[in-house]
Chains A and B, each alone.
Chain A
Amino acid sequence: MRLENKVAVVTGAGRGIGKAIALSFAKEGANVVIADINIQEAEQVSKEIEKLGRGSLAVKTDVTIKKEVDDLIKKTIEKFSFLDIMVSNAGVSSMEYVIDMPEEKWDFNMDINLKGTFLVTQAAAKQMIKQQKGKIICTASMAGKGGVATQAHYNASKHGVVAYVKSLAQELAPLGINVNSICPGSIKTSMQDREVQWSAQIRGAGATAEDIREEMANFTPLGRIGLPEDIAKVVVFLASDDAAFMTGQAINITGGQINTL
């Protein structure tokens, strides 16, 4: 096992990619703290982790509220005394043309995806600096590198994460802390379920969510939509000693989609 007895915190771990990361960590031997704004979902995942024989804790966390984020780290240290791995994964998306985009939509994406990353990684970094050890992994997106219509606010937030991670990695490198981001492509999650619905609506002309999903698969050289587990495998690698010499990177996990340089 590659993460035996490590302590990991994953935000947005109640479902989707975050849940897959948390379960993969546990299967590799880690104790995992499940942070999510939806405490019921967090508790369920936490129970699954315990069934795998690992320690766990579910913490209701809104990543846009500094106090809740700081409490998350505090509770983790109270229970497990150490923080090896921080995965800042909580994220949202919406679709809107800029010309019609209400300010709330901009704030919703920027606050959770970008500012949430800042608050979560800052709190984790403070603990890791004390330890002189740690791994930070942030979920960005292929939207952190390329651009598509109707997601300018989401793109802005994910581009922000990519640059933020590079900068933080430079700061924490001398202290033995690795910081990387991942850029998932089209992944089958509830977020994607919503996105394909919206895309179909925006497209009109009788387009269905399934049409959009098929198109996404066709745009992907590996010929399929990704699964949360595809992402989790790479995150396990980044969290393990195998990735000890990697920092400041934004790793594409897109099935070969090339609008992501």
Chain B
Amino acid sequence: MKLSDKTAIVFGCNGLIAQEICKKLSNEGCKLIITDLKKELAEKLASNLKNTIGIGVDVRNEKEIKDAIEIAIKNYDKIDFVVNCSRIALFKETVELTENEWDTIVDFNAKSMYYIAKAALKNMIDNNYGVIIGVTSKTANSAPSNLSAYSASMNASIGFLRSLSCEVRNNNIRVNAICPGFIEHEELVLGAELTDNEPPDKGIYIQFSPLINVANEPEALANLICFLASREGEFVTGQAYSLWDDDATYYRNLGQMAEF
């Protein structure tokens, strides 16, 4: 096991990607705190994993994030890894986007990164060790139509993490992002719910390349996270990784809807 004696806190576990990440970290020996806006979801996933506690956290609320970090420290004495998987999406033309929708998306996806990093850093600096990983999106780079707030929030997260990686280099803390190549059904469902829009049809998600079988991606991303967290990734910081090249540039009007 690559991550024995390590502890991690994962924010947001409603999607397949986050669930694979939690499973992988647990299987590699990590003790986990997992959180979600929906407490019962986090608790249910936690009940299926070893040494895992599930709690409810709204990542738009700094106090709830601080409390979750406190719970982690109280139970496991330290935090080695933080993974932020909190993402919501709304597929809508920019000219139709309301101010409230913009705020909700940017706060949930990007400001959460700031709250979480700030809350976790104190313990990591004390321990002179830590790994912070943001789950962002390929849209940060390829930025397709009808996803401007989402793309902006994801690249904002990457910009934040890049800068943070420079600040904490001397504290033995590494900061990276991974960029999934599709937008999960659960992100669209939660995005609609938090912005009072109609939920998407069952099974709808958004993919950026017709060439990739996204069903394989969550597990591959979980492996990537494990690499970044483990000793193998100990020289990697300030990076934003995706799993394939930007074919989105060829498929211009993406954000094409697809079904599982």
Contact surface of A with B, Cβ cutoff 8 Å: 66, 97-99, 101, 103, 106, 110, 114-115, 118-119, 121-122, 125-126, 129, 143-144, 146-168, 170-171, 248
Contact = CB atoms under 8 A, between A and B. Distances in A.
14 contacts: A103-B62, A110-B110, A119-B99, A121-B94, A144-B159, A147-B164, A148-B166, A152-B114, A155-B159, A159-B159, A163-B141, A163-B148, A164-B152, A168-B94
A61 to B, nearest CB: 16
Contact of B95 (A103, A125, A146, A170): A125
Contact of A163 (B121, B151, B238, B253): B151
A158 B152 CA distance: 9
B106 interface: yes
A106 B151 CA distance: 19
A152 B97 CA distance: 26
Contact of B167 (A97, A106, A165): A97
B152 A114 contact: yes
Given A115-B103, A163-B155, A153 B160 contact: yes
Interface string B153-174: 1111111111111110000000
B162 A171 contact: no
Decide if the interface of chain A is mainly helix, strand, loop or mixed: helix
Q: How large is the interface on B (under 10, 10 to 19, 20 to 34, 35 or more residues)?
A: 35 or more
Contacts, number: 148
Contacts of A110: 106, 110-111, 156
Given A99-B167, A163-B148, 20 more contacts: A97-B167, A98-B121, A98-B167, A101-B118, A118-B97, A119-B99, A121-B94, A126-B95, A150-B167, A155-B159, A156-B114, A159-B155, A159-B160, A160-B155, A160-B159, A163-B143, A166-B143, A167-B139, A171-B145, A171-B148
Contact of B151 (A129, A154, A158, A166): A166
A85 to B, nearest CB: 18
A200 to B, nearest CB: 18
